[in-house]
Amino acid sequence: MKATKTLPPNIDVSAVNIGLDYDWSKTDYRLNPRKGNEIKLTASVGIKNIKRNNDVISIKDPSFNYASLYDSLKERAYQFKIKLSASHYFPVGKQATFKAAVNGGVFTSPNIFRNELFQIGGYKLLRGFSEESIYATQYAVLTAEYRYRIDLNSFLFGFVDGGWVKNKYQTVDLKNSYIGAGLGLAFETKFGLLNISYAAGKRNDVKLNLREASKIHFGYVNYF
């Protein structure tokens, strides 16, 4: 920070939001559907307050006033966030299912900092990348997944996840595309469903190195 004379990527901020969640599902079986649709929409709007960090404003430099870094910020500003998740399941023969899904999100506010952003990647969204390693102000992820049912709550699967991400905060302004593909197994345990998958992921501006790109993902869904 002393070298660049800019605020750090993570900033002290508090917010008060009001939000709306909409969750709709019409499938033949919640835990392992073969046909039907799922939609989830989350939206929130609110006011955020940026707090001046004492460690920043107390830096002593005869040639620069670090407290002035906050002068150009809107320390009280609006913020808006929306996320959408939608899936459709197509039955294939007697034992298989094809899942098509789309996930997206938008976050907007003046003077955005890194610790306010979406974090995607990993088991939940965009497999083939480390968990929550991808920061985004906007994202869209498409998923195509083939499932072969072993029993009521267990299946083998192969998948492709493709994503587009915009990451804009402070002086950062990046747009990247991502693709991940792999295989996995979901099976029933005493307490819920365990999901294990292997995936390899690639970002558009990075040369593929399969050893570095390979990831093992674990997920668990509890019964309620």
Q: How high is the pLDDT of residue 7? A: 92
What percentage of the chain exceeds 90 in pLDDT? 83
Burial class of residue 125 in the structure, from the number of CB atoms within 10 Å of its CB (0-12 exposed, 13-18 middle, 19+ buried): buried
> Could you tell me the domains of the chain?
13-222 (2.40.160.50)
Helix (H, G, I), strand (E, B) or coil at 107: strand
Residue 223 has pLDDT above 70, yes or no: no
Rounded to two decimals, the pTM is 0.93
Q: Highest mean pLDDT range out of 58-62, 66-70, 106-110?
A: 106-110
- How much is the average pLDDT of 75-85? 97
Task: Find where tokens 């999100």 sit.
Answer: 105
Q: How high is the pLDDT of residue 2? A: 73
Instruction: Report the alpha-carbon distance of residue 23 to residue 11 in Å, rounded.
Output: 32
Instruction: Report the alpha-carbon distance of residue 92 to residue 149 in Å, rounded.
Output: 11
Instruction: Report the alpha-carbon distance of residue 84 to residue 43 in Å, rounded.
Output: 9
The tens digit of pLDDT for each residue in 7-66 reads 999 999 999 999 999 999 999 999 999 999 999 999 999 999 999 999 988 888 888 888
Residue 114 has pLDDT above 80, yes or no: yes
- How much is the average pLDDT of 94-108? 98
The tens digit of pLDDT for each residue in 115-125 reads 999 999 999 99
| Angstrom distances, CA of residue 134 to CA of 40, 120, 164, 165 | 22, 5, 11, 8
